[in-house]
Chain A
């Protein structure tokens, strides 16, 4: 693997690791949802960077165009980009659902702090109402 790949894959996986760490160690529901959003961003970046081809541009035909123009050898893979477009929208929808669930949790428990079913089941402090 070349240097650019190390930076991209390494950095993106670090981002995903930050998200996983956030889910496991944070107790505030809003922070957990933010961590999930960070993982989503990381996965989207990972997909786009898998489709990247060195020295090529976005998959859009530009300049003096017309029928018969084939951008072969000039553009990166369009399929991961289309896939990520879908994933971003689905991510938005699931985040909205998660936030509404957080509203419900707050109404029921009077707090956004997660209780026993987060990390650290034993020895938890009592959540203040």
Chain B
């Protein structure tokens, strides 16, 4: 059979993609851009905006939604992340089984990368911790802070290809942070409202201070540690450490 050129493959694909985009665009014509839909009476978002700061004490309304109002969703999200990390480990251990004999060649890092990583790594880790400690005050939170920590660890692994990672320590940290998250949820269950992850039994303090918003910073710290440890584990597994 004749060989298809790149153009022959591209054009029908382009037509399908543009058709799809045009269809969705027609649907989106009905949604006015920039319209204030949240101010309507009975709007869930309007309710969160009006009461979020007073009910949860969090200056960041997104945090009050993620950790408090939709906290159960976040627990599910953390579970999905855990499953993905476990799945990556399982798949890699199947894949790696038969080629133990030919290890990939290691590229030695340059002097600049090696020394520079040592200088920058503490700052990256500190920044990650800052992001998840201030999740209730400023943009950011547990997930973002955790990913920043994991990216710092990735830099460390690139700069030190020979170093063995502390895989066990990270998986213990990850498990205990996950248990802490569920534990904080159960503490909420024991409060007056009897709701999982409730915040109303805690002192919400003065909005805008570091020690405020009751349980929210604690939950975000546990999420931050869990995500950081989990993503570092993912990086380690892809590097071929823990298989």
Q: Do A and B come from one complex?
A: yes
- Chain A interface (Cβ < 8 Å from any Cβ of B): 1-2, 4-5, 8-10, 13-14, 16-21, 24-25, 46, 49-56, 58-62, 65-73, 75-79, 81-82, 85-86, 88-90, 92-94, 96-97, 99-101, 103-104, 107, 119-120, 122-125
**A18-B17, A66-B206, A119-B13 are known contacts. Are A79 and B33 too (CB-CB below 8 A)?**
no
Interface centre among A24, A73, A79 (most CB of B within 10 A): A79
A69 touches B207 (CB 8 A): yes
A60 engages B13 (CB within 8 Å):
no
Contacts A20-B16, A94-B84 known; A101 to B91 CB distance under 8 Å? Answer: yes
- Count contacts between A and B, CB distance < 8 Å: 206
B18 at interface by CB-CB < 8 Å: yes
Asked if A49 contacts B13 (CB within 8 A), the reply is no
Please give, as numbers and ranges, the residues of chain A lying within 8 Å of B61 by CB-CB distance: 59-61, 71, 75, 78
Q: Give Cα A14 to B139, complex, Å.
A: 28
Other contacts beyond A69-B207, A86-B77, A123-B1: 19, CB < 8 A? A4-B34, A9-B33, A16-B21, A20-B20, A21-B14, A24-B16, A25-B14, A53-B34, A70-B50, A77-B37, A78-B49, A78-B64, A93-B80, A93-B81, A96-B88, A97-B88, A104-B94, A120-B4, A123-B2
Contact mask for chain B residues 134-162; partner A; CB cutoff 8 A; 1 contact, 0 none: 00011101010001000000000000000
Instruction: Decide: A17 and B21 in contact? CB cutoff 8 A.
Output: yes
